[in-house]
Amino acid sequence: MLDGLSEFCAEALAEHGCPSVSLAVAERGEVVHAAAYGTADLATGRPATPDTVYGLASITKPITATAVCHAADEGLLDLDAPAPLPGADGGPAPTARQLLQHRGGLGAYYDWDYGDGERIHDPDRYAVPYRAPGTGFGYANLGYRLLGRLLEQATGQELGACVRERVFAPLGLTACDLARVYPGPAPSAQRYTPDGRAYPDYGCSHPGATLGWAPAGELAMFAQSYDRLLKPETAAAVRHALPVNEHLGYGLGWCLSSGDGPLVQSHGGGGPGVAAMAVAAPERQLSVAVLTNSTNKAARDAILRYVLDELAPDCTPESITPLIADPARPMTLPEGDWTGRISAPERDVPLTLRMLPDRQVTLRLDGVRATAPATATAAWDLRASFPLQLPTTDARISSPELGLALRLADGALTGEAHAYKNGDTEGRLGNFLSHPCTLSPA
């Protein structure tokens, strides 16, 4: 099996400008194949090896979820008790279970601290509800930030120490960690932009969502053995997935397939210089991990597909993350003007929106105007992005563009305004900040 893998990996790395990949296959509790290709550190020429440790980005979430469920099994926390949102002003609070499922009502968010003094100083201000808890799926790093805090309060341990003691050590995963900087002893892969610029070491305000580290072999083992730490009923709850689209649902920290074919459990990870994926077929006791050190996910995806086509061809792309399907539909909003505000943490920012013919929309923000194409999707009546800076201290750090996602209800447009940076082809990956937005007919 996996004949031609070396040649395929070399071609994929070259085609997509990815410095290295490490991959592993585990079966019935044992790593049966581990290999690495390319260069872990371009400056020194250090090659990638199966022992090289890579950043996991969002594959950290099932690790944190396992620790949360383990603490619940010990009676240290209640998955169904309210977990108040620090940025909310009253209203029902989500439960830990809802936060694990990305159904806590929070908006999309991430931030990066590159050690240059430019960072979001109070991320809690963005932990505000956009919908009632339990009413819809919304992928939320801030939910896992709150879960990390719950773990620390419940166990009396710092999050990294809690995960090492309660998850990694019992499973014999000696090279895994959860930390801003990988502490060793194995060497880690330097992280790179798609055009080969090295990232500095970085942190974020949501470590329980993002800051995991592992070699591919240990990640593959985690994906098929984490449930050994949990009571049977809790392990079953992890795989009880509420639907996100017709092929996939999200359980307690994992994406799960639905419909015909084998159950597929997966989670992807992407961030500054990281593209990672873990996939398991629990009924077959088979798991695969693919880790790369580039922001570009193309090499990761191609190599994962090559391995799965050989080992588990019925694990189709539709049965694996990414989750969210939001197909386009015809625009129905009439031409005309709308006025309203973006509710940023430091102040409300007024804006004016003009719907034009041919699905164009003009936005006026802080005295600056831009016109962009607009679309409608299954979830939103209007989506558009503009080269406009939201004039707040946080957004000015590294979020120079503005996106709107709005629904029409009761005569008003309501939804989210996103301050963000589009990729890292210039500089470093920026932050992604969500803000409530409301407009009424002018």
- Over residues 340-382, the pLDDT tens digits come to 999 999 999 999 999 998 889 999 998 899 999 999 998 899 9
Judge if pTM exceeds 0.75.
yes
Active-site residue (options: 58, 287, 385, 434): 58
Do 252 and 123 reside in the same domain of the chain? yes
Do 24 and 173 reside in the same domain of the chain? yes
Cβ(243)–Cβ(229) under 8 Å?
A: no
Do 304 and 252 reside in the same domain of the chain? yes
Which long-range contacts link 342-346 to residues 24+ away (Cβ below 8 Å)?
342/390, 342/417, 342/435, 342/436, 342/437, 343/435, 343/436, 343/437, 343/438, 344/390, 344/392, 344/394, 344/395, 344/435, 345/87, 345/122, 345/125, 345/126, 345/392, 345/394, 345/435, 346/392, 346/393, 346/394
* Structural domain ending residue among the three candidates 269, 296, 319: 319
Token pair 């070399």: residue:
10
* Structural domain ending residue among the three candidates 295, 319, 343: 319
Do 249 and 128 reside in the same domain of the chain? yes
DSSP alpha helix (H) spans, 334-424: 395-398
The C-alpha atoms of residue 126 and residue 418 are separated, in whole angstroms, by 11
List the one residue out of 360, 216, 228 whose CA is nearest residue 291. 216
The C-alpha atoms of residue 97 and residue 104 are separated, in whole angstroms, by 9
Residue 88: how many other CB atoms lie within 10 Å: 16
Those residues with Cβ within 8 angstroms of residue 260's Cβ, 6 or more apart along the chain or in another chain:
none
Amino acid identity at 391 = P
Do 207 and 229 reside in the same domain of the chain? yes
Q: What percent of the chain has pLDDT over 70?
A: 99
E strand intervals along 14-136: 20-27, 30-41, 46-47, 54-57
Structure confidence at residue 2 as a pLDDT band (50, 70, 90)? confident
Do 9 and 40 reside in the same domain of the chain? yes
Q: What is the mean pLDDT of residues 173-189?
A: 95
State how far the alpha carbon of 433 is from the alpha carbons of 24, 26, 386, 396, in Å: 35, 38, 15, 11
Do 15 and 66 reside in the same domain of the chain? yes
Do 139 and 223 reside in the same domain of the chain? yes
- Looking at every residue in the chain, the average pLDDT score rounds to 95
Do 237 and 334 reside in the same domain of the chain? no
DSSP β-ladder status, 286-292 and 382-386 = unpaired
Q: What's the CATH code of the domain at 400?
A: 2.40.128.120
Q: What is the mean pLDDT of residues 164-171?
A: 98
E strand intervals along 85-178: 177-178
Do 222 and 339 reside in the same domain of the chain? no
27-48 in b/e burial notation, b at 16+ Cβ within 10 A?
Answer: beeebebbbbbbbbbbeeeeeb
The least confident of 125-139, 312-326, 346-360, 407-421 is: 312-326
pLDDT at 56 over 70: yes
Count the domains in the chain.
2
Structure confidence at residue 1 as a pLDDT band (50, 70, 90)? low
Do 19 and 69 reside in the same domain of the chain? yes
pLDDT of residue 323: 65
- Over residues 199-235, the pLDDT tens digits come to 999 999 999 999 999 999 999 999 999 999 999 999 9
3-state helix, strand, coil in the chain (%, to 5): 25, 30, 45
58-70 in b/e burial notation, b at 16+ Cβ within 10 A?
Answer: bbbbbbbbbbbbb
pLDDT at 324 over 80: no
List the one residue out of 347, 387, 346 whose CA is nearest residue 363. 387
Cβ(303)–Cβ(277) under 8 Å?
A: no
258 in catalytic set: no
Backbone φ and ψ of 187, nearest 5°: -70, 150
Residue-range definition of the domain harbouring residue 90: 5-319
Structure confidence at residue 288 as a pLDDT band (50, 70, 90)? very high
Structure confidence at residue 25 as a pLDDT band (50, 70, 90)? very high
Does residue 155 sit in helix, strand or coil?
A: helix
State how far the alpha carbon of 391 is from the alpha carbons of 117, 123, 305, 347, in Å: 19, 17, 43, 10
Q: What's the CATH code of the domain at 204?
A: 3.40.710.10
pLDDT of residue 67: 98
Do 69 and 169 reside in the same domain of the chain? yes
Does residue 222 sit in helix, strand or coil?
A: helix
* Structural domain ending residue among the three candidates 319, 352, 385: 319
